Amino acid sequence: MTRLLVADDHPAFRRGLELMLADVDDIEIVGEAQTGLHAVELAAELSPDVILMDLRMPGLDGIEATRRVTRPTSGPAVLVLTMFEDDDSVFAAMRAGARGYLLKGAEQDEIVRAIRAVAAGEAIFGPEIAQRVITYFASGTGAAAAAFPALTQREREVLDLVAAGKGNATIAHELMISLKTVRNHVSNIFTKLQVSDRSAAVVKARRAGLGGA
């Protein structure tokens, strides 16, 4: 029997999941949390095998809640079930320790299969999310993210253009942002990469595969 904790701030959605899983013999909902902090507390109290985690909840969000409950090696598996499919949300959840990521609207069979999979120690993604992961790493963005985890997605885009030899004005035009914003990003990049000038940043960026080199 897989013990499941549901963390979502929408009562109607929690009720829908309860009805959906009522006839699934090997999955038992042992608790429901309305906030990320509540999920952390119930995880410690109930010791579920899997937490079905939304990302956007009041107070402590699902990303930080995931990080806290998966910190112990014996902690529960987290399966994200959310409406957010942007790269930042997906990869933030993965970095926090989530083993799976599904979008709300997934069919019952897909949700049940994912719960069973993460409970067994597997990693699983919905079709839409799996495609984003493949595209992310195939494009080289994933390698850059691994090389420079402190950078935001936008900062990586700026660094890629810097490494390609483009000036601030050109970068501002290509990304459709202000010159001041580009300067701020470049300054942040220097700080995070612990370099003092553009040439040193370019060297590090090209070693990571940015700049088309």
Tokens of 113: 């299969």
Spell out, as residue ranges, where the chain has pLDDT lower than 70. Answer: 135-147, 212-213
Tokens of 93: 């959840």
- Whether the Cβ atoms of residue 7 and residue 53 lie closer than 8 Å to each other: yes
Are 146 and 183 in the same domain? yes
CA atoms within 13 A on the CB side of 184: 7
Are 26 and 118 in the same domain? yes
Are 174 and 109 in the same domain? no
Look at the block and give the residue holding tokens 């459709």: 176
pTM above 0.75, yes or no: no
CATH number, domain of 81, equals 3.40.50.2300
Are 118 and 66 in the same domain? yes
- Whether the Cβ atoms of residue 81 and residue 7 lie closer than 8 Å to each other: no
SS3 category, 78: strand
- Whether the Cβ atoms of residue 18 and residue 4 lie closer than 8 Å to each other: no
- Whether the Cβ atoms of residue 28 and residue 73 lie closer than 8 Å to each other: no
Are 96 and 192 in the same domain? no
Distance CA 154, CA 113 (A): 35
pLDDT of residue 95: 83
Tokens of 47: 């010791």
- Whether the Cβ atoms of residue 126 and residue 118 lie closer than 8 Å to each other: no
Cα dihedral value 54, 56, 58, 60, nearest 10: 80
Look at the chain and count its residues.
213
Distance CA 54, CA 103 (A): 10
pLDDT of residue 126: 85
Q: Residue 182 sits in which domain range?
A: 141-212
Distance CA 141, CA 91 (A): 12
Are 184 and 96 in the same domain? no
Tokens of 90: 């997906």
pLDDT of residue 186: 95
